[in-house]
Amino acid sequence: MTTGPDVRMTLNYIIDSSREKYGDLPAVGMALEEPITYEELHDRICALAVRLQADGLKKGDRVALLAENSHHWGTAYLAVVRLGAVGVPILPDLPEADVHHILTEMKAAIVFTTQRQIDKLYDLRGNMIRKLITLDDYRGSADLLPVEPFGAYCESALADYREAKVTGELPVFPDVDENDVASILYTSGTSGFSKAVMLSHKNLTSNAYAASTLMDVKPGSVFLSILPISHTYEFTTGFTLPLLMGCRIAYAGKTPTPAILQNLCAHEKPYIIFAVPLVLEKIYKKRVLPKIEKSRVLSVAYRFGPVRRRINKKIGRTLLQFFGGNLAMMGVGGASLNPEVEAFLVEARFPYLVGYGMTEAAPLIAGGPFGDKTIVVGSTGKPIPGVEVKIEEPDPETGIGEIYARGPNVMLGYYNDEDATREVLSPDGWLATGDLGSMDEQGNLSIKGRCKNVVVLASGENIYPEVIEHKLNAVHWVVESLVVEDDNKLVAWIYPDYESIDEMTTGQTRSQRREFLENLMETMRKEVNAQLPLTSKLAEVLERREPFIKTATHKIKRYLYDKNAKIS
């Protein structure tokens, strides 16, 4: 899809033009439920905007959205930006203290929320928040926290809006420019304190337009949404992109288990799903590896390339049926994909596309295009159309350096933080990503890790812990791992899959199970070390008995565990 001279780079323009082109097509809805059309969605957005305007919302005001995924979330957000106001999406998993910080800094007087989030808002009602609207129609307690259910609020607004359309007395909305701020999103990075990223309408729409060129998608195709829309990855690729292309978004609701996901896919038969690597890695480790490892014949045969490829191809067909039988592409982003899992996907002929980006780039920097035979496995493909990428100060031997990006998707800056903005944004528009990578002659971008995560040992060698972690995480009984430097040696912390450990130690005493796990970790250490250069070998593997704290895209917040981590 191209952008001609008449195209306005605002979210409002996308919704208006999609209504004109796809008015009768289904637009959004919860999975397993009847969706609303583009015409109905447009009416709801405009009606809500009129009501919010009557309630005092003005251009430049900030409105928070603290809620789980639903089509109501998107409707509310688009009504806010229709007025030139700013949406402030808040990740539902954030603790109360972080929510209070965001709402206070943003001075958000209106909040769209749900029953699951309402406890985080008690202390702010009346003090700052003047209107709470519950997207799940939770009625709350009039004494504790007066709220307005979204259903009633929307129906009343729609009735007034339709009457105003008949009489021709619709209010005039403010002009919205492509460079106006549309969203302020707080990062949940792996390296320290969150920053408030200001993204303009053009940042978000240019990224969606660019993404629309990576693959042919027909209007009416189904996008199944399983990631939080409050994260820019899902907002751009799983929300703005399908609305731009006349597709239907089916929201899974809360994060589905594999069984629920299979049921949703059987009903919705999605054409595209955007996911984090954890989704595919779990399926690979829980549904693929066990079948092979539990069969002596298969495990032996799997060692031979031609036989393994035939087995994987057959498994790939089964996987496609798991996802409803109509999946044309699964976008994978938000974190790095395990190389072993990607090698399986290639041999299984599973349709996937790896993307790379960050909130500050709205978010896509590289990915695809889908079907390009020159994309190297292990890379994130080519820079997306309109985005320039360069490697700053590459190592003469390895070609690895910091990734810089420039384009219309790059943020306006960090809210109320000029110093932090200057650190990452150059005067000529280059964004320093903080990621290390290299580019080959065909333009494929390969990510090597975070600049701040590089371990420099006394020998002077640069160690990329993510490379070692991928090898550890490929072991079927490992859920996740973290490699850190401790007294000039490398140590790995492992969070085991205790369900797998229980299966392997059935009938054993507690002390026997402890000894079994210790032996298992030591064996794994030796096996992984055999695959690593001398300077990257692990000195010790330790057990961690609870999951690591992670970001919204399931990346471990390393600074919480690595005493040598640099906080930014």
pLDDT tier at 216, thresholds 50, 70, 90: very high
Q: Hey, which residues does 446 pair with through a beta bridge?
A: 438
pLDDT-wise least confident of 200-214, 219-233, 256-270, 432-446: 256-270
480 pLDDT exceeds 90?
A: yes
pLDDT value of position 6: 56
Dist CA 213 CA 216 (whole Å): 7
Residue 332 lies in a domain: yes
Phi-psi region of 541 (alpha: psi -120 to 50; beta: other; left: phi over 0): beta
Same-domain status, 519 and 381: no
Q: Which of 424, 452, 480 is the last residue of a domain?
A: 452
Q: Are 163 and 47 in contact (CB under 8 A)?
A: no
pLDDT value of position 565: 46
pLDDT tier at 7, thresholds 50, 70, 90: low
pLDDT in tens, 75-121: 999 999 999 999 999 999 888 888 999 999 999 999 999 999 999 99
pLDDT in tens, 383-425: 999 999 999 999 999 999 999 999 999 999 999 999 999 999 9
459 pLDDT exceeds 90?
A: no
234: which 2 tokens? 């899902």
Residue 50 lies in a domain: yes
Same-domain status, 404 and 504: no
pLDDT tier at 431, thresholds 50, 70, 90: very high
The vertex-37 CA angle with 35 and 43, nearest 5°, equals 120
pLDDT value of position 362: 98
pLDDT in tens, 318-357: 999 999 999 999 999 988 899 999 999 999 999 999 999 9
pLDDT value of position 89: 97
Question: Mean of the pLDDT values across residues 521-535?
Answer: 92
What's the total number of domains in the chain? 3
Look at the alpha carbons of 267, 268, 269, 270 in this order and tell me if their dihedral is positive or negative: negative
pLDDT value of position 179: 97
195 pLDDT exceeds 70?
A: yes
pLDDT value of position 521: 96
Same-domain status, 317 and 356: yes
Residue 235 lies in a domain: no
Q: Are 386 and 363 in contact (CB under 8 A)?
A: no
Q: Average model confidence (pLDDT) for the chain?
A: 91
Look at the alpha carbons of 193, 198, 202, 208 in this order and tell me if their dihedral is positive or negative: positive
Same-domain status, 391 and 515: no
Same-domain status, 448 and 491: no
Of 338, 291, 336, 283, whose CA–CA distance to 311 is shortest?
A: 291
pLDDT tier at 566, thresholds 50, 70, 90: very low
Question: Mean of the pLDDT values across residues 519-548?
Answer: 93
Q: Which of 421, 452, 483 is the last residue of a domain?
A: 452
DSSP element (H, E) containing 388: strand 388-392
pLDDT tier at 283, thresholds 50, 70, 90: confident
Question: Mean of the pLDDT values across residues 365-375?
Answer: 96
Q: Domain with 523 in it: what CATH number?
A: 3.30.300.30
Same-domain status, 382 and 446: yes
Range of the domain at 486: 456-560
Residue 6 lies in a domain: no
Q: Which of 423, 452, 481 is the last residue of a domain?
A: 452
For residue 21, the Cα-to-chain-centroid distance in whole angstroms is 29
443 pLDDT exceeds 50?
A: yes
pLDDT value of position 449: 87
Same-domain status, 442 and 469: no
Dist CA 72 CA 74 (whole Å): 5
pLDDT-wise least confident of 47-51, 200-204, 297-301: 297-301
Count of CB atoms within 10 A of residue 235's CB? 28
pLDDT in tens, 52-78: 999 999 999 999 999 999 999 999 999
Integer angstrom CA distances of residue 136 from 34, 67, 131, 188, 318: 16, 9, 15, 25, 36
Q: Are 71 and 238 in contact (CB under 8 A)?
A: no
Dist CA 192 CA 234 (whole Å): 22
Long-range contacts of 195-198 (CB under 8 A, 24+ apart): 195/414, 195/415, 195/417, 195/420, 196/102, 196/105, 196/106, 196/414, 196/415, 196/416, 196/417, 197/232, 197/359, 197/360, 197/411, 197/414, 197/415, 198/411, 198/412, 198/413, 198/414, 198/415
Residue 232 lies in a domain: no
Same-domain status, 295 and 369: yes
3-state secondary structure of 25: coil
Same-domain status, 298 and 175: no
554 pLDDT exceeds 60?
A: yes
Residue 400 lies in a domain: yes
pLDDT value of position 325: 97
445: which 2 tokens? 């971008």
Residue 355 lies in a domain: yes
2 pLDDT exceeds 80?
A: no
Same-domain status, 445 and 485: no
Q: Which phi and psi (to 5°) does residue 443 adopt?
A: 90, 10
What angle do helix axes 201-211 and 11-22 make, rounded to 10 degrees?
40
Question: Mean of the pLDDT values across residues 482-490?
Answer: 89
pLDDT value of position 323: 96
Q: Domain with 337 in it: what CATH number?
A: 3.40.50.12780
Residue 220 lies in a domain: no
Same-domain status, 501 and 556: yes
Same-domain status, 295 and 436: yes
Q: Are strands 401-406 and 431-439 parallel, antiparallel or unpaired?
A: antiparallel
pLDDT in tens, 138-180: 997 756 678 999 999 999 999 999 999 888 888 889 999 999 9
State the DSSP string of 276-343. -HHHHHHHIIIIIHHHHHT-HHHHHHTTSHHHHHHHHHHHHHHHHHHTTS---EEEE-SSPPPHHHHH
